[in-house]
Amino acid sequence: MQNITVEVNNLKKSYDKVEAVKGVSFSVSKGELFGLIGPDGAGKTSIFRILTTLMFPSEGSARLLGLDVVNDFKEIRNNIGYMPQRFSLYQDLSVEENLTFFATIFGTTIRENYNLIKDIYVQIEPFKNRLAGKLSGGMKQKLALSCALIHSPNILILDEPTTGVDAVSRKEFWEMLIRLKEKGITILVSTPYMDEANMCDRVALIQNGEIMSIDTPDKIIGNFGSKLWAVKSRNIYQLIKDLRSLDFIETVFPFGEYLHVTSKTGSIDIEKLQSILIEKNHTDIHIQEIRANIEDCFMALMK
């Protein structure tokens, strides 16, 4: 791959006896939007803290823009924008004061880089005299992003920027990231929401400190391997029990209103299954073959 901006090689991190990151490798190209997708405790924050030079790796190495995270930490710090979990803002400073403060400590001014943050900042500018602590989750998120961008970094590292934010703000936030990406900024973002994987160019699915798969979302889904059916009926709890009792069924996972089902033989005769379920007193039965999503893939990889 050309223009590699971030390169991580067999990275490991232990706290006391717990191994939080167990040998992770990946690389991110310039201008790519790369997602680290996994549940809480998967090791996402540890990886990002190593990349932002806030922690030493226990083993392995990582380079950003060709700079080593251990030896060249000062140069790296000048070139990255970092948004830690829970939007670290000064709650008792106003929106404008927060932004001005972060601009000054990076040796710049709001005006100098206004172009870059304009799209985002105009949405919160009407509230610029409000204290950051009094903002809604979505507005805090926008302010934190503006603060992370104020010094025009080459790489943006965002740790769970959409956690605790409502659906509207989440969608807007991803739209902002895609616009930033188009300006050539390399973006690394972590999230526990599987559905957000589709917004990334490439994703790494991470669980228990290990990357299970790295690829474009489409290819990951393409590699799902087996066919998948969505099944539902009136009584979903009974349906789970009944499906699991059938010997040709491999997995049954609740998925919203539906159950996602795979078969040991790789195929399901829809009509036959329907009649079995009718026999077991199920009503309003729907069965259809579907395409897997990232969450299906994640679960398949977990085993």
| Contacting residues toward other proteins, per CB under 8 A | 38-42, 49, 52-56, 73-74, 77-78, 80, 82, 84-86, 88-93, 97, 100-102, 104-107, 136-137, 147-148, 163, 166-168, 171, 192-195, 207, 234-238, 240, 253-257, 295, 298-299, 302
Name which of 89 and 214 has its Cβ closer to other proteins.
Answer: 89
Name which of 126 and 256 has its Cβ closer to other proteins.
Answer: 256
Name which of 106 and 224 has its Cβ closer to other proteins.
Answer: 106
Side-by-side strand order, sheet with 67-68: 18-29, 4-15, 59-64, 67-68
What's the sign of the alpha-carbon dihedral 20, 24, 27, 28? negative
Name which of 2 and 165 has its Cβ closer to other proteins.
Answer: 165
Whether the Cβ atoms of residue 211 and residue 43 lie closer than 8 Å to each other:
no
Q: How far is the CB of 302 from other proteins (least distance, A)?
A: 6
**3-class SS of residue 239:** helix
Q: How far is the CB of 92 from other proteins (least distance, A)?
A: 5
Pairwise CA distance, residues 105 & 102, whole Å? 5
Q: How far is the CB of 140 from other proteins (least distance, A)?
A: 10
Whether the Cβ atoms of residue 37 and residue 191 lie closer than 8 Å to each other:
yes
Q: How far is the CB of 80 from other proteins (least distance, A)?
A: 7
Pairwise CA distance, residues 288 & 108, whole Å? 57
Pairwise CA distance, residues 108 & 146, whole Å? 13
Q: How far is the CB of 2 from other proteins (least distance, A)?
A: 27
Pairing of strands 210-215, 202-207: antiparallel
Name which of 1 and 168 has its Cβ closer to other proteins.
Answer: 168
Pairwise CA distance, residues 53 & 165, whole Å? 27
